[in-house]
Amino acid sequence: MSIVIDVKDIGVSFRRNRKRNFSIREMLLQQKNTSPKGEFWALRNINFQVNAGEAVGLMGANGQGKSTLLRIIAGVLLPDEGSVTVNGGVAPLIELTGGLKSDLTARDNIGLVAGLHGVSKSELKKRFDSIVEFAEVGDFLDTPVRHFSSGMKVRLGFSIVTSIDEPIILVDEALAVGDAAFKEKCYIRMKDLLNQGKTLFLVSHKERDLKEFCTRGLYLKDGSLAVNGTLTEALNAYQKDSGGLHD
Amino acid sequence: MGKFGAFRILVYRDLQIRYAGTWLGYFWTLLDPLAMSAIYWFVFSYIVGAKSIGEQPYILFLLTGILSWTWFNGAVTDSARSLVIESKMVRSIAIPRYLWVIKSIGAKGIEFVLALPILVVISIIANAEVSAALLFIPLAFVVQFLLLSGIGLILAPLTVLARDTTNILRILLRMMFYLTPIIYGVSDIPERFQTIAYLNPMTGIISMYRAGFWNDPNLVTPIVFSVIISLIIFVTGVIFFKKVERSVLKEV
């Protein structure tokens, strides 16, 4: 089987006392403070491989580096140590509505987000109708997205990214979005994509999602990979540490 | 998809957003530099008096400077904030990061090019003479693009790491407007300050835009200065961006 994601000795460090939005005054006049300084490793010595067609669930408590790891695989964060090789294109279900521009219409946004994810114009033409239909925004195609409800936006975002047709799908929690009916549609679409032989890498807390889709499990604990095995092994370890999963 | 494809999409999107929901659309691109030029023309022709600064027709002289400054000002401001404003996209779409910065410069550059027909109209109205030195305009465009890219690649990461970069920038840009030969010409600068003026790459760039309208015997020095300094700033920007990219991605 061919390896599509190869993670070698990944390490990422963050600064411990780093405030967001700090000012130049703080840069120049470094105040003395007593809290621990320096860096901490959010992830370290992470090694694993994912084969084509596998469905891998990544779990761990909050702040254990799950999203960080996913972002490294998606290529939107660079590791400080080690390397990641991803063979094949990636459809990242991360920040689903982040790519939508509120002043532009749904039509323009579809072109924009699909285009940035590498869908060619001729491909988009073929898929445009199905994206619109799936997102259920047909009546609002020429409405600026700022008038959309948050549910409509997330449906649109989900529909675009799951239509990219790349061999690897990365999901950060949002495996299914919107209301109950739309969630069912999302599950069906994810199943479809898996049946087409795509590789799934899913970050989730939800036991239902993990059990439904994944066969392999990775469990992150304190920035290192505690379990790299079957889904059941990873789930058991996670449940033992956290006392049950939330659904 | 090539990098150029993503660049084109982003530039197009910036322009789309700029004109979405506006009535005057494209005319906003013309209105800002025209209004600025009209005011300076009035002040310096009728209040400060004397046709002592710049060249005649003064309105054309002003427009050549103010149009390229409008690009400079808009592109520096937008590119500096680009990584902050696009943070959600930077966090989710894996395209080369410098594209987020360069696209702001490209979008403002297109607005600049679209505003150039004003120069044609005004030079016809004012019956201005032009020479083959108009061919310096494309070179000026390329040099200004390089310069802006360098500045953007330095400022965008700085703005992510320290948000008040934007405030300092606003003050600096206003100062630079008066320190750059826009409402006056290089020849109006006292000789002892001229070398310092050449160190400002926009001096040579604006001289190039003006070369086809007014014969400038001292054109070579500002051009050489602006090309070399723009290249240095561009290379510095590329190296700096590469160096801080990792930390910037953790902060956006």
The tens digit of pLDDT for each residue in A65-117 reads: 888 999 999 999 999 999 999 998 899 998 888 889 988 999 999 999 999 99
Q: Record the tokens describing residue B36, joined without a space.
A: 């600025």
Expressed as residue numbers, the domain containing B245 is 57-251
Task: Collect all residues of chain B within an 8 Å Cβ-Cβ radius of residue A144.
Answer: 20-21
Rounded to the nearest angstrom, the gap between the alpha carbon of residue B106 and the centroid of all alpha carbons in its chain is: 11
Look at residue B165 and tell me if it is in a domain: yes
Taking CB atoms and an 8 Å limit, are B94 and A92 in contact across chains? yes
Look at residue B199 and tell me if it is in a domain: yes
Q: How much is the pLDDT for A34?
A: 44
Q: How much is the pLDDT for A22?
A: 56
Q: How much is the pLDDT for B8?
A: 93
Taking CB atoms and an 8 Å limit, are B17 and A75 in contact across chains? no
Q: How much is the pLDDT for B116?
A: 92
Q: Would residue A19 be called left, alpha or beta, if left means φ above 0 and alpha means ψ between -120 and 50 degrees? A: beta
Q: Are B64 and B209 in contact (CB under 8 A)?
A: yes
pTM, two decimal places: 0.89
For the ranges A2-6, A36-40, A173-177, B129-133, which has the lowest average pLDDT? A36-40
Predicted confidence (pLDDT) per residue in B74-109, tens digit: 999 999 999 999 999 999 898 999 999 999 999 999
Predicted confidence (pLDDT) per residue in A157-191, tens digit: 999 999 988 999 999 887 778 888 888 889 899 99
Taking CB atoms and an 8 Å limit, are B91 and A92 in contact across chains? no
Is pLDDT at B64 greater than 90 in this prediction?
yes
Predicted confidence (pLDDT) per residue in B186-234, tens digit: 888 888 998 899 999 999 999 999 999 998 888 899 999 999 999 999 9
Determine the straight-line distance between the first and last CA of chain B, rounded to whole angstroms. 25
Q: How far apart are CA B230 and CA B237, in angstroms?
A: 10
Q: Are A218 and A57 in contact (CB under 8 A)?
A: yes
Taking CB atoms and an 8 Å limit, are B162 and A78 in contact across chains? no
Residues of A with CB under 8 A from a CB of B: 12, 14, 18, 20-25, 27, 71, 74-78, 80, 90, 92, 94-95, 98-99, 101, 103-104, 108, 111-112, 115-120, 144
Is pLDDT at B51 greater than 80 in this prediction?
no
- HSE-up of residue A127 (Cα within 13 Å, Cβ side): 19
Going by pLDDT thresholds of 50, 70 and 90, the confidence category of residue B164 is confident
Q: Record the tokens describing residue B32, joined without a space.
A: 């800002």
What residue has token string 């989710």? Answer: B92
Kindly list the distances between the CA atom of residue B85 and the CA atoms of A110, A186, A237, B78, in Å, as whole numbers in the listed order.
20, 30, 40, 9
- HSE-up of residue B28 (Cα within 13 Å, Cβ side): 10
Look at residue B29 and tell me if it is in a domain: no
Look at residue B21 and tell me if it is in a domain: no
Query: What rounded mean pLDDT belongs to chain A?
Result: 86
Q: Are A188 and A37 in contact (CB under 8 A)?
A: no
Q: Record the tokens describing residue B71, joined without a space.
A: 């690009």
Q: How far apart are CA A53 and CA A51, in angstroms?
A: 6
Going by pLDDT thresholds of 50, 70 and 90, the confidence category of residue A33 is very low
Taking CB atoms and an 8 Å limit, are A103 and B6 in contact across chains? no
Percentage of chain A beyond pLDDT 70 is 89
Look at residue B34 and tell me if it is in a domain: no
Is pLDDT at A219 greater than 90 in this prediction?
yes
Look at residue B18 and tell me if it is in a domain: no
User: Rounded to a whole number, what is the distance in Å from the CA of A41 to chain B's nearest CA?
Assistant: 13
Q: Give per-residue burial for A151-174: e unless 16+ CB within 10 Å, then b.
A: ebbbbbbbbbbbbbebbbbbbbbb
Q: How far apart are CA B72 and CA A194, in angstroms?
A: 49
Find the residue in B nearest to A75 (Cα): B94
Q: How many domains does chain B have?
A: 1
Give 3-state DSSP helix, strand, coil % of chain A, rounded to 5. Answer: 40, 25, 35
Q: How far apart are CA B98 and CA B248, in angstroms?
A: 12
Look at residue B19 and tell me if it is in a domain: no
Look at residue B39 and tell me if it is in a domain: no
DSSP states along B87-124: HHHHTT--S-THHHHHHHHHHHHHHHHHHTHHHHHHHH
Positive/negative CA dihedral, B212, B213, B218, B224: negative
Q: Are B103 and B179 in contact (CB under 8 A)?
A: no
Predicted confidence (pLDDT) per residue in A121-151, tens digit: 999 999 999 999 999 998 999 999 999 998 8
Q: How far apart are CA A40 and CA A46, in angstroms?
A: 15
Cite the DSSP H helix spans in B43-57. none
Beta bridge partners of A200: A55, A169
Q: Are B70 and B29 in contact (CB under 8 A)?
A: no
Task: Collect all residues of chain A within an 8 Å Cβ-Cβ radius of residue B162.
Answer: 22-24, 27
DSSP β-ladder status, A39-51 and A3-15? antiparallel
Percentage of chain B beyond pLDDT 70 is 98
